[in-house]
Amino acid sequence: MNIYDIIFYLFAAITLVSGFFVVSTKNIVHAGFYLLFTLFGVAGLYVLLGADFIAIVQLLVYVGGILILLLFGVMLTNKITSVDLRSGTSYIIPAVIGVGILWGALTAVLFKTSWRSKAPSGMDPTTSEIGRLLITDYVLVFELLGILLLVALIGAASIARRDKE
């Protein structure tokens, strides 16, 4: 077991344990923080997979953006003074059964599959290559994403803003 493996298990553990707590803790704020660890762990996994740029983006966008957004969401949708930040649960039994089977099936399937994996090459920096791809092969997706962000922006603003009455 080399250092790579140890690091993997570490990140995998962080990801899964915190991921588990995200969905099982009662306290919403705690869940937010667990999510932070999960996202962080995933970023770590990205690094292990040689995706340095993605890892950075993960940290920037997820941790820096989405998570903050979610926490804002938590704050804005709870009366901090009156309610303890707890959230109930529902459908535990069907969820456990369904998700359990799903997980089992998924794992079984993924295990049984003989992936045509090749030995991974070395870890080259990916940033410049990704940048090049974004404006060549993926230029359409890239541009479309731009429009999507614009639309999302307008949409979110439109729906969230307080109407003047």
Partner 1 sequence: MDLTNLYYSLRLILPEVIVSVALLIIVIADLILHRDKKSIPYIALTGMLAALAFMITDLAQQGFAFIPSKSQHMFGMVAVDAFGTFFKILIIISSVFIVFFSNSSLEIQKVSDRIGEYYTLIYGMILGMMFMISASDLILIYLSIELLSLSSYVLAGFTKLRDRNSEASLKYIIYGAVSSGIMLFGISILYGISGTTNLMALNKFFQSPELNLLTLSFSLILIFAGIGYKISAAPFHFWTPDVYEGAPIAITAYLSVASKAAGFALLIRFIRTSFVAVVDAQGNWILFDFFDWRSLLIIISILTMTLGNFSALWQNNLKRMLAYSSIAHAGYILLGLAVLSVHGLIAIMVYFLIYLLMNLGAFFIVMLIADKSGSENIDDYSGLGYTSPLLGVALSIFLISLTGIPPTAGFIAKLYLFIALVDANMIAVAVIALLNTVVSLYYYVRVLKHMYLTKPSASTSSVRAVGINYAVVLILTIPVILFGLYFTPILEFVKNCISILSI
Partner 2 sequence: MIEVGLTHFLIVSSALFSFGIYGIITRKNAVMVLMGIELILNAANINFVAFSRYLNLGLSGQVAALFVIILAAAEAAIALAIVLNIYKTFDHVNVDEIEKLKE
Partner 3 sequence: MQEITFLQLSITVLFLPLLSFLIVILYGKKFPKLYLLETGSIILGFALSVLLMIFKISQQLNNTLSFNMTWIDFGNVPMLGHLKIELGIMLDNVTVLMLFVVYLISMLVHIFSLEYMRGDRLYNRYFAYLGLFTFSMLGIVLTDNLLMMYIFWELVGLSSYLLIGFWYEKKSASDAGKKAFIVNRVGDIGFFLGILIIFSAYNTFSFAKVFEQIGMGVLPFDSGAWLTAAGILIFMGAVGKSAQFPLHVWLPDAMEGPTPVSALIHAATMVAAGVYLVTRVFVMLTADAMLIIAVVGAFTSFVAATIALTQNDIKKVLAYSTVSQLGYMIMSLGVGAYAFAFFHLVTHAFFKACLFLGSGSVIHAMHHEQDIRNMGGLRKKLPITYLTFLISTLAISGVPLTSGFLSKDGILAGTLAFGSLTGHWLIPAFGFIVALMTAFYMFRLVIVTFHGVPKNKEKFDHAHESPFVMVMPLVVLSALSLFIWYTPLPHAPDAGWFISDWVKTPQTVVPENLRFDFMKSSAPGEINGEVVHSASYTEALHHAHYPAMALSLIVAGLGILLAFLMYQWKKIDPDLVAGKVKPLYDFSLNKWYIDEFYDAAVIKFTLKFSGFLAWFDNTIIDGIVNVSAVITRLASKIVDLFDIYIVDGFVNFSAFISGFIGLSFRRMQTGKVQTYLVFVVFSILILLIIINPF
Q: Which of 10, 22, 82, 84 binds partner 2 (CB under 8 A)?
A: 22
Q: Which of 125, 129, 135, 143 binds partner 2 (CB under 8 A)?
A: 129
Task: For residue 125, state whether it binds partner 2 (rule: CB under 8 A).
Answer: no
Task: For residue 10, state whether it binds partner 2 (rule: CB under 8 A).
Answer: no
Q: Which does 89 bind (CB under 5 to 8 A by kind): partner 2, partner 3, partner 1, none?
A: partner 2
Q: Which does 77 bind (CB under 5 to 8 A by kind): partner 1, partner 2, partner 3, none?
A: partner 2
* Other C-beta atoms lying within 10 Å of the C-beta of residue 6: 10
**Nearest to residue 38, comparing CAs of 8, 6, 16?**
16
Tokens of 102: 């799903």
In the chain, how long is the greatest CA-to-CA distance?
65
Q: Is 94 helix (H, G, I), strand (E, B) or coil?
A: helix
CA pair distance 55, 49, nearest whole angstrom: 9
Residues 6+ apart with CB under 8 A from 103: none
Task: For residue 115, state whether it binds partner 2 (rule: CB under 8 A).
Answer: yes
Sites of contact with partner 3 (CB under 8 A): 90-91, 94-95, 98-99, 101-102, 105
Which residues of the shown chain bind partner 1 in the complex (CB under 8 A)? 105-106, 109-110, 112-116, 136-137, 139-141, 144-145, 147-148, 150-152, 154-159, 163
